[in-house]
Amino acid sequence: MSDYLLEVNNLTKRFPIKGGVFGKEVGAVYAVNNVSFKIPRGQTLGLVGESGCGKTTLGRSLLRLIEPTSGEVKFNGQNILELSGPEMRAMRRKMQIIFQDPYASLNPRMTIGDILREPMDIHGLFPGKEERKKRLYELIDQVQLQRDALNKYPHEFSGGQRQRVCIARALAVEPEFIVCDEPVSALDVSVQAQVVNLLMDLQKDLGLTYLFIAHDLKVVEYISSRVAVMYLGNMVEVAESSELYGHARHPYTKALFSAIPMPKPGLNKERIILQGDIPSPMNPPSGCHFHPRCWMATEECKKEYPAVTQQSESHYYRCFNPID
């Protein structure tokens, strides 16, 4: 068995943009463009980048909730993009997703017990009455809710508790991999740490592998072994989190991470303020998409998209003029 649970090669998702009365294609967005990365079993890859850079599209494409346009998603060595509909449905038991909004993702008319039973029914798991009951208690205990929660409805819970229900629902089918799409962004700051710690404890206990999408770089650093940075559909740098904070090579990563306030004022790095707005993804700049905002850009950057430079086994970037 490979050490990598997930191996993604040249994954691309192109959304056609239709317009006019006849719905003719008037353009396209490459929301995810030729993205490659690997996640070792039992580890977390953080995924960051400005709004609209393609994080959600990437996360959903991995589970084929959005059908990728091209590329490869190898799960346990098997390219899941080649699976048939029924094969993929069976595979989804191993790959789950947790969404940002725990309010929108729970059916208000179902009890927590029913919400947790549903995925087990779909996959025919724990069918016996006693084993089902045992399993429900186990799930509730795992996410640290009270067992009487099973008979209650979502509206009886706080945001943090609802996110725990969503986590229990994902765990119900015994997944190996979970895409966490900004799972704490909608929660109060005081609750965020509890949910993040819960996810980390579960990872340790159950050997889970995560792709953890977040806006908050501090949260990402805390939970992730490695972090990937996206810009306009491209993965521009991937490295150990400590490495990205101290030794980012891509100017965009450097700028992104320079914005984080450090606990001691003396440690604060010089903040890099990026010029200009994020360009339209429908009409991205030529060459390296970041060049119009980059203070290191040269003529070369306007012409060609830089290939991947592999700095070490765990650190790579796409840039012609990396930072020393």
* Residue ranges that bind ligand ATP, judged by CB under 6 A: 15, 29, 31, 49, 51-57, 281
Of 37-45, 53-61, 215-223, 302-310, the window that binds Mg ion (rule: CB under 5 A) is 53-61
Instruction: With CA atoms as reference, report the closest residue to 59 among 217, 153, 178.
Output: 178
Task: Report H helices in the chain.
Answer: 55-62, 85-91, 112-122, 129-142, 159-171, 189-206, 217-223, 241-247, 251-258, 299-303
CB of 37 to Mg ion, least distance (A): 17
CB of 98 to Mg ion, least distance (A): 13
DSSP conformational letter for 38: E
CB of 91 to ligand ATP, least distance (A): 22
Residue 15 site contact among Mg ion, ligand ATP, none (CB < 5 to 8 Å, cut-off depends on kind): ligand ATP
Residue 54 site contact among ligand ATP, Mg ion, none (CB < 5 to 8 Å, cut-off depends on kind): ligand ATP
End-to-end CA distance of the chain: 37
CB of 228 to ligand ATP, least distance (A): 12
Provide the edge-to-edge strand list for the sheet that holds 4-19: 24-40, 4-19, 70-75, 78-79
Three-state SS for 179?
strand
Binding mask 90-129 for Mg ion (x = CB under 5 A): ----------------------------------------
**Complex with ligand ATP: residue 29 or 106, whichever CB lies closer:** 29
CB of 182 to Mg ion, least distance (A): 6
Residue 103 site contact among Mg ion, ligand ATP, none (CB < 5 to 8 Å, cut-off depends on kind): none
Residue 61 site contact among ligand ATP, Mg ion, none (CB < 5 to 8 Å, cut-off depends on kind): none
Our finding on whether 56 is near Mg ion (CB under 5 A) is yes
3-state helix, strand, coil in the chain (%, to 5): 35, 25, 40
**Complex with ligand ATP: residue 282 or 323, whichever CB lies closer:** 282
Both tokens of 73, joined, read 């998603």
DSSP conformational letter for 99: -
**Complex with ligand ATP: residue 119 or 284, whichever CB lies closer:** 284
Task: Please report how the helices 159-171 and 112-122 are oriented relative to each other, as an axis angle in degrees rounded to 10.
Answer: 20
Both tokens of 7, joined, read 């191996």
CB of 219 to ligand ATP, least distance (A): 14
Q: Could you give the CA distance from residue 7 to residue 263 in angstroms, rounded to a whole number?
A: 36
**Where on the chain is the footprint of Mg ion (CB under 5 A)?**
56
